[in-house]
Amino acid sequence: QQQVKQSPQSLIVQKGGISIINCAYENTAFDYFPWYQQFPGKGPALLIAIRPDVSEKKEGRFTISFNKSAKQFSLHIMDSQPGDSATYFCAARPGYSTLTFGKGTMLLVSP
């Protein structure tokens, strides 16, 4: 029940396209859903996060869509750029407890 299932495992998108990464969870106590971006050899960086009281949050080219009834949330990267090539992790936690991470998605944006 603590799992967060992330898909796809890897993704190739053309420059300028939309990258979409999906996550699903079972634990209805989860109430904080962040996305992290990690470049090789670096620590994860908090990209954007959402709480279940809203269905969408947008920051620049990054948007989180949240579907509480389906227990799913997704990251959309608009106008994807080669510099967005990285590994993306979704995560979730109940209250102020520990984060549960997805397995990650390796995104490659081709020039």
Partner 1 sequence: GAVVSQHPSWVICKSGTSVKIECRSLDFQATTMFWYRQFPKQSLMLMATSNEGSKATYEQGVEKDKFLINHASLTLSTLTVTSAHPEDSSFYICSARDNGGGYEQYFGPGTRLTVT
User: What DSSP letter does each residue of 12-81 carry, written as one string?
Assistant: EEETTS-EEEEEEE--TT--BEEEEEE-TTS--EEEEEE-TT-SEEEETTEEEEEETTTTEEEEEESS--
Q: Which of 17, 38 has the CB closer to partner 1?
A: 38
Which of the stretches 17-25, 56-64, 67-75, 92-100 binds partner 1 when contact is defined by CB under 8 A? 92-100
Residue 97 to residue 33: CA distance in whole angstroms: 12
Per CB under 8 A, 46 contacts partner 1? yes
Told to check if 102 binds partner 1 by CB under 8 A, we report yes
Q: Which of 42, 54, 56, 58 binds partner 1 (CB under 8 A)?
A: 42
For the bound state, the minimum distance from the C-beta of residue 106 to partner 1, rounded and expressed in Å, comes to 8
- Binding residues for partner 1, rule: CB under 8 A, are 32, 34, 36, 41-46, 49, 51, 89, 96, 98-99, 101-104, 106
